[in-house]
Amino acid sequence: MSKVDQLNELLHRELAEAINRELELPEVFVTVTYVSCMPDLQFAKVIVSVLPDKMAGTALKKLKAASGRIVSSITKKTRLRKVPRLLWEFDPTERKAAILEDVFLKIDEDEDEDINF
């Protein structure tokens, strides 16, 4: 496993814990979906899912504002001398899954109506 892969795994685990400690968003659940460090280790793309997804914008703003505290927390807890700059992005997978589920339910309802004729 490469050093970048090891750093991705470490950051994924530590970011999940740090977000739970540092981020104050009542009734919002933030999950770190994916972390990808650039090869030069200057930046790390952090993909998060947010439930309910209508709070994604607010959650991303709070995450960006708390980046300094989160990085500080990770630096204290690990032996990393330098944590890459965090670039936060929303993972729309849950939103897309809900749309697909609605479509499938509609198709299923339409099939049930056709059978009753």
82-105 tens-digit pLDDT: 899 999 999 988 778 878 888 888
Are 68 and 88 a contacting pair, CB within 8 Å? no
Q: Fold for domain 3-92?
A: GMP Synthetase; Chain A, domain 3 (3.30.300)
- 113-116: list long-range contacts, CB under 8 Å, 24+ apart: none
**Other residues' Cβ atoms within 10 Å of the Cβ of residue 89:** 14
**103 strand-pairing partners:** none
Q: Which tens digits make up the pLDDT trace of 24-69?
A: 888 899 999 999 999 898 999 999 999 888 899 999 999 999 999 9
| Sign, CA torsion 48/51/54/55 | negative
What per-residue string of b and e applies to 35-71 under the rule 16 or more CB within 10 Å gives b?
A: bbbeeeeeebebbbbbeebebbeebbebbeebbeebb
Task: Say if pTM beats, i.e. exceeds, 0.95.
Answer: no
